[in-house]
Structures are given as C-alpha cells and as structure tokens.
Structure 1
Amino acid sequence: METKNEKSDVSRAEELKNQANEAFKGHKFSHAIDLYTQAIELNSNNAVYWANRAFAHTKLEEYGSAILDASKAIEIDPKYSKGYYRRGAAHLAMGKFKDALKDFQQVKRISPNDPDAARKLKECEKAVMKLKFEEAISVPVSERRSVAESIDFHTIEVEPQYSGARIEGEEVTLDFVKNMMEDFKNQKTLHKRYAYQIVLQTRQILQALPSLVDISVPNGKHFTVCGDVHGQFYDLLNIFELNGLPCEENPYLFNGDFVDRGSFSVEIILTLFAFKCMCPSSIYLARGNHESKSMNKIYGFEGEVRSKLSEKFVDLFAEVFCYLPLAHVINEKIFVVHGGLFSVDGVKLSDIRAIDRFCEPPEEGLMCELLWSDPQPLPGRGPSKRGVGLSFGGDVTKRFLEDNNLDLMVRSHEVKDEGYEVDHDGKLITVFSAPNYCDQMGNKGAFIRFEAPEMKPNIVTFSAVPHPDVKPMAYANNFLRMFN
C-alpha cells in the first residue's frame, strides 16, 4: 500500500511533468529538462518522464543523453513504444541508421496500426539501403582522386543571359563579393563557374595552412570571433552590418559550423570563402563538427548543394572541408576551437599542429575531441551528452591553458540563450552566432571583439532578423524533417 508521502511524491512529480511539458511547448528545452529531472527524482519508475526528457535532450542536440533516457524508459516499460521512438530519433540524428532501424521496427511491432511509425520505418529502411549501396560502391581512401583536380573552371561558359555577379579574371574583388551578397539577399544564384573558382581558390589557400593557425593582432587593432552561423545567411549579413565587412583592418574568425540546419548554407559558405579569396588575412575559418560528410548528409547541406549547384559540388565541398584548420591561437594568448578539450592531460599546441587533418573527422582522438567536446560545470571529465567527444571541467581547462601559457579559451558548438556564456572561472567563453536557431530557440546571437594589446573580450549580442520563408532543414533528409 502507498504511504501518504509516496502519494504526494507521485502527484508532485506529475505536476512537475506538466510544467515541463509547458516549458517544452515554449521551446524552453533546458528548463524542461530541469523539471523532468525533478519529476524523475520523485518518481523514477515512470517511463513517460524519461521519454519526455529524452525528447527535450534531442531538441538541444544532446543525442547521447537522449539515447540513455530513452533506453531507461524502455527498461522500465519494454512495451512503451515512445521509448523506442525517441531512441530511434536520436540514433537517426547521429547518423546511426542501423540502430534507428531496429528501434522503429520495435515501434511497428508494438503499434502495428500507427501510420506515422510505418512511415518512419519505411524512410529508415530506405536510408539503410542507400547506406549499404554507398558502402558497396565506395572507393578505398587510398585510391580516391581529388575532385578539385578534375575541375577547370576556365572552361565553363557563362551564358549571355546570366545577369548576376561576375569575377573578371582570376581575382575575387570586394565589388564582386558585395554584388554576390546582394544577389544572394534577393535569392538569386551564383553562376557555377564563379562558385567553382571561389571554392577551388579557397582550397589552395587552406591547403597551405597548418592544423593550428597563429594569428597576430597588432597593438591598437581589433579582431572579431564569431561562433556557429549554421546556414543563417540573413543573420550573417546582420553581423556585417553591425560590425563591418571583413577586411585587413577588420579581420574575423568564424569558428566552425557554417553550414547545415539553416537553409541558406550555400550562400554562407560561398560568402565566407569569397572573403578568404579576396584577402586571406581578413577572415580565418575553423572546422566545426558540421563540416563533415556524415553531418551534411543528414542536416541539409548536401541536399541544398545538390539543389542550388550540382552533385559534383557535394564532393568538392566535402574535400575542401577537410582542409579547414582545427584551431587558432590569437596573440599567443587566446585558444579558439569549435568544440573543446581532450580526454587526456598534457596536450600541447605542438600536438594539435601535428594532427593530420586532411580526412573526415574520426570517432575518437584529438581531432574528434576538438570538434565535439563540451564544457561541464563539475571538475574532471564525464561522458558527452552528445554521444561523441566528452565533457570537461574547469580544472581541465585551467591545466590546458597553464600547460600552453595561454590566458583564455573561446569555443562555440552550443546554443546559448544570450548568444554566449562565460564558464570555468572566466577562463572559457562559448560564443554562438545563430540567433533564434532553427527559427525556434528564441536565443540571441553574439560575437566577441578583442582589442590589442589588452585582448579583453568585448561581447556584442544581437537578435535574429527576418529571412525569406524557407524553413530550416528544408533540404534535409526526409526522415529527419519528420522529427523537427
């Protein structure tokens, strides 16, 4: 028989769950997770709470945590179809199609008449078949030829009726970049000849760079660091409006995740690459976890490139993304990387310089951790809530900075309500530059301006601006759009 206390715990847990559901509906996913957690602490045997929290984790791209929660829901109630459904969705989001397929098969077994489950299972089966086919026809890495070397943009004709921006000769000029951005703003496309020229010239510039790039900001000058922009081109234009266009006197570092999710990724990548061609010291570009084939296949960039350019560009971008540097150090004091730190102590800047980055990101090791890891409030290290990389505490940050005679670490990779967050006793700043991320998070964007010689971070926040009515993930895989 239930005691009075147990009864009140159960009813309080139910109240908390209802509050969490409301927070979820209002896109306050972190708050929803806190409330579901409180409900679970009062009544840990309710599979619904675990499955709901899994869904909130999915919304924050914390797929590792979502899988753990959904698995717990399944353990509590093996016949609870939503547990398999939530886990399947998280597996899909990580590109683990075969695991997702098993989960959706279970959903279908438990709810044979659910048309939604049947549809998702079908999409998942298609994805697994496609994957098997691609594996069967793929060429071993050692035998792969460079796509870039098979393209000569000079031979591509520009039709007389083309009225867009043009590059005269070999040089990308500021006038061209401005015209191209204006065309993009009006949803016009760039001719393939010029798109090839920009991407190929950027490849040449990037290829010559080390895996860790040193940046020097002279006294009296400033430098701006931006975080993820994720295909939100109109917000990128707003950054330039607020802070000026990239040039030698106004240099920028864009810290990875230029593409995916937002549906103007082609416009963003061509704009950033064009500035790199125009003046390499006006803009620095770091690789993020979304500058990779597996992510681009799922989160929209691949589909968008096919739609706006061509299949060949899909392979070309994948190749050029492998040339992006992995980290930057500004004035020997500020370490900038997309994700975070390492599963081992004692990593030196020379170890990062020595990484052979010309490949798809591996699933473990230094390169993986640079792109995927996140800070945590507790000291030490913990498992990643994303299911890739790890979580690292303030002590890890402090030791890394001390070992390398650095003052500050700047990273991106995570949505923050204010566009930024300062952690680890002020030694670590997260900056995220995609406001109202995916048109639903309601967050601000931010960038950081550093003035030499003090190099104190001056953080500027901004709100989202309107964009044409093309939804985020418009070019993403069918089955993933079903979950958004």
Structure 2
Amino acid sequence: MTRSRRTSAIALRRILNSRRMGLPLWMPRRRWSLIRVISRRALANTAILNHREALKDFKAVVKREPNNRDAKLKLADCEKLVRRVEFEKAIEVGDPPSAFEDLDIDSMAVDDGYDGVRIGNEMTQEFIDDMIERFKNGKKIHRKYVFQIIKAVRDLVYAEPTMVEIGVEEGNKLTVCGDTHGQFFDLLEIFRRNGYPSDKHAYLFNGDFVDRGSWSTEIALVLYAYKWLRPNGIFLNRGNHETDDMNKAYGFEGECKAKYNERVFKVFSESFSALPLATLIGEKYLVLHGGLFSDDSISLNDIRKLNRHNQRQPGQQGLMMEMLWTDPQTAPGRGPSKRGVGLQFGPDITKRFCEKNGLEAIIRSHEVRMEGYEVEHDGRCITVFSAPKYCDTTENKGAYINLGPELKLNYQVFEAVPHPPIKPMAYAQNSLLSMM
C-alpha cells in the first residue's frame, strides 16, 4: 500500500471514530479544509453502508459549496441509495419464502448448442474441470447448472452445524484460505501451487469469496461445485461479504444479474445465509471470518448453540455480527471499530478466550495483510488473506495455511497473477462505492 493510501485510510478511520465518540472532527496535518474532511467522512460512511449519515454530510458540502458539481452528483447518488434502502425495508416480510420456491430446475432445458460438459443429478470432476476452463476463457455455464449447484450446496451447508468441527487424518492435508474477493485467477494460482481439492486434500475457505473482484460468480460456483462433489473435503465459513447489504453495494448482486439473472443472486443469498459461521480444527484452532466478542463470557458452546437459521442477515449487533466483523488491535481491552461496525479486541481478550476454551489460537481473515498473513497477540491471533494485489491497487501478497495430522501451521505466500482487463468493482451499482 502506498504511503498516500495509508494516510487516507488512517484519516478515514480517525474521522469515523471521532464522529461515533462525539468528538470534534480530527484535522489532518495537511490542513484539509472542513469541506474535504466532511466529504471524506461521507464516503467512509457510504463504504460501511451508513447511508443516512453520509447523506447529511453530502448535504452539508453542497450547502457550503452550491457550485460544487462533484458534490452534487455524490449527493444525488446517495439520495438514490437511501430511497432504495427505505423501499426495500418497507416491503420486507417477517419470513420471506425460499428463493427456490416455484423454481422448477428439472424442467429447465439445456439446448443442443451448449458446448460444455453436462451433468445429471450428481456433480462430477469432469464437469468442474470443464467449468474452470470455461471461466478462464470468459464463458459461462448453463443457468440450469448454476441453480443445481447452488441448491445442492444450500441443502448441504444448511444441515451443517453453526461451528463445524474437523480434524486432519493421517496422510491427509488441510488448507485454510482467507478472503478471495472475486479474484478468480488468484484462486486458480492457489490450486496450481498447492493442489486442487481431492480425497486426501481438504480446503477451508474463511469467507469473503465474493464482492469487489469481478469474477465472484466464478469463484462461488467453483467452490460450491467442489462442496457438492466432496461435502467432507471442502468447508466454507460465512464472511461479512456473504450478506445482502454488502452484495448489493460491492458488486456481487450486479455481477449475478449481468452474467445470469436476478434469481441467481437471490438463491445465492439464501445459500450464503445457510453457511456455517466457524470451523474448529482439531480442538486447537477456531477459524472464523472476523474475530472475537464484546463479552468475555462467550464460549465455544455459545457458538455451537447459536441458531444462525433464525437470522438470515447479521444486523448491527449480536454474536453473528461480531463473528463476521470484528478486528484485532495492539492495545489491550476493546476499542471502537475502524469500520464503523463491530469492535476491536486486544491481546488480553484473545488470551482469555483461548485459555478459557482450550485453544492454541484463533485464525481469522477479513483484513489485508501485506505479507498475506500476520501472527499477532503473542501467537494467539492469526490473520490470513488470500487476495494478492487486492483490488489491483494494494501491493500485498496472498497467503494460505497448510496443516497436516500434527496440526502444525505451515504458511505459504504467493504473488498475484495476471487476469483479463476487467477492473475490480466492474459490476458495482453505486459510483460512490466504486471509488473507495
């Protein structure tokens, strides 16, 4: 990450934290004007989907600078966002019907001109191999197969516990990957370097498969196809970007509509809400997307007992939200989140949680790490991030972790690979977010 980008990120975090804590606006050393500070705060609030606060700030900028054309455009975009969010809330029902209701997949015909491998009622390795080649060449699979894959995996993961518990048998290997964020060609680089999922080699993907990168449907379908083929050989934790609000803002919804149709997004959304929230490896490592909790009394048993099916979206508080959104900090105790959602937890929090639950460490993702991974909190908090050169702008490496039966962590770092000339956020519907 360049120095200027780091400076901007730090500034945004301080601005948001100052607003939340009721403090006066923090003014950077470079003497930004009040207008510039308010504009950046508005963009930051847009990024965390705090649209009403963003709207107030954009209105303030336009009031102070009525001839500022850029501010007027951003205000108009933000007003559209707020109207859309309010409309969607107005038409919400308590228990929406399944997105698969009235979807007759069996009656869907695959025309004779389809040039890909076909499947019946079972996934095959031949189909996956062909699908990957199609995706590499810019092709799609037939919509019937998309629905089949999502339906099969939705049923599989719905039946799994909220915290899946696994080990690594003798002669086998497990690989833990962090965020892939629609960077399909970098996912293939992991498989090229480390091996594809097989009977002896399982994978755990720790959330944020989609959004930002412009091959999110390709990643989701490949991971889902492997899950259908080998239910006990690939494991999928939910991330904060496997949620409706994020998908609507950061590109996945738009990508589904552009490449397939709106129904595909809706069934993906239902499958995301069924995903487990954590995986326990050999009773030593708790793997979850975000991090730890606002309450020291939370235990592994509380995660086991959490009925995630009662709450499809994580909301702004509660156990599910914290599992998807929180981040570590270097200072002890807990602090306000730099994201505006969730919180930050210190090394003492991690130590108490691990000791209470008999864990060696937690493994989480959710944040870029310049070397692809980072070991913090005296070795008890490990972050792994698997999207190198994130969004084509951050000069970070990617990483993944290999474990054998002895459960020793073997970190592997890799560089980004070339991809076709499609920019990140290509399918994002909101111009405000596409510039973040």
TM-score interval, normalised by the smaller of the two chains: over 0.9
Residue 116, structure 1, aligned to residue 74, structure 2:
no
Taking only aligned residues, the RMSD between alpha carbons, in angstroms, comes to 2.2
Report the 3-state secondary structure (helix = DSSP H, G, I; strand = E; otherwise coil) of the residue aligned with 2:106: helix
Report the 3-state secondary structure (helix = DSSP H, G, I; strand = E; otherwise coil) of the residue aligned with 2:335: strand
The two structures have a TM-score, normalised by structure 2, of 0.94
* Aligned-partner Cα distance in 2 for 1:75–1:407: 40
How far 1:220 moved relative to its partner?
A: 3.7
Q: Of 310, 314, 318, which aligns to 1:361? A: 314
Report the 3-state secondary structure (helix = DSSP H, G, I; strand = E; otherwise coil) of the residue aligned with 1:102: helix
What is residue 118 of structure 2 aligned with on the other side? 166
What is residue 301 of structure 2 aligned with on the other side? 350
What is residue 44 of structure 1 aligned with on the other side? none
Residue 98, structure 1, aligned to residue 52, structure 2:
yes
Residue 146, structure 1, aligned to residue 95, structure 2:
no
* Aligned-partner Cα distance in 2 for 1:67–1:268: 37
Q: Which has the larger radius of gyration?
A: 1
How far 1:53 moved relative to its partner?
A: 4.4
How far 1:313 moved relative to its partner?
A: 1.3
Query: CA contact under 8 A between 1:54 and 1:65: conserved in structure 2?
Result: no
Residue 335, structure 1, aligned to residue 286, structure 2:
yes
What is residue 23 of structure 1 aligned with on the other side? 3
Q: Which has the higher contact order (CA 8 A, sep 6+)?
A: 2
* Aligned-partner Cα distance in 1 for 2:226–2:33: 55
1:168-212 Cα offsets, whole Å, 9 max, x none, are x11111110010011001110111000000000001101110100
Residue 222, structure 1, aligned to residue 173, structure 2:
yes
What is residue 289 of structure 1 aligned with on the other side? 240
The two structures have a TM-score, normalised by structure 1, of 0.85
* Aligned-partner Cα distance in 2 for 1:101–1:350: 41
How far 1:410 moved relative to its partner?
A: 0.7
Q: After the TM superposition, which of the residue ranges 256-265 and 370-379 deviates more from structure 2?
A: 370-379
Q: Of 339, 343, 346, which aligns to 1:386? A: 339
1:396-425 Cα offsets, whole Å, 9 max, x none, are 111111111111211100000000000011
Residue 273, structure 1, aligned to residue 253, structure 2:
no
Query: CA contact under 8 A between 2:15 and 2:26: conserved in structure 1?
Result: no
What is residue 89 of structure 1 aligned with on the other side? 43
What is residue 446 of structure 1 aligned with on the other side? 399
Could you tell me which runs of 5 or more consecutive residues in structure 2 were left unpaired when the two chains were aligned.
none
Per residue, is there more helix in 1 or in 2? 1
What is residue 107 of structure 1 aligned with on the other side? 61
What is residue 126 of structure 1 aligned with on the other side? 80
Aligned residue type for 2:110: V
* Aligned-partner Cα distance in 2 for 1:78–1:64: 16
Report the 3-state secondary structure (helix = DSSP H, G, I; strand = E; otherwise coil) of the residue aligned with 2:232: helix
How far 1:447 moved relative to its partner?
A: 0.1
How far 1:66 moved relative to its partner?
A: 8.2
What is residue 54 of structure 1 aligned with on the other side? 11
The change in CA–CA distance for 1:322 and 1:64 in structure 2 (over 3 A counts) is farther
The change in CA–CA distance for 1:99 and 1:481 in structure 2 (over 3 A counts) is closer
* Aligned-partner Cα distance in 1 for 2:153–2:376: 34
* Aligned-partner Cα distance in 1 for 2:430–2:359: 45
How far 1:165 moved relative to its partner?
A: 3.5
Q: Of 384, 387, 392, which aligns to 1:431? A: 384
Percent of aligned positions with the same letter in both sequences? 48
* Aligned-partner Cα distance in 1 for 2:125–2:228: 10
**Superposed counterparts of 1:155-194, under 5 Å:** 155-167=107-119, 169-194=120-145
Q: Give the count of matched residue pairs.
A: 432
Query: CA contact under 8 A between 2:15 and 2:25: conserved in structure 1?
Result: no
Q: After the TM superposition, which of the residue ranges 102-111 and 473-482 deviates more from structure 2?
A: 473-482
Query: CA contact under 8 A between 2:250 and 2:433: conserved in structure 1?
Result: no
Query: CA contact under 8 A between 1:64 and 1:384: conserved in structure 2?
Result: no
1:212-257 Cα offsets, whole Å, 9 max, x none, are 0001211342211000000000000000001111122010000000
* Aligned-partner Cα distance in 2 for 1:329–1:365: 21
Query: CA contact under 8 A between 1:67 and 1:90: conserved in structure 2?
Result: no
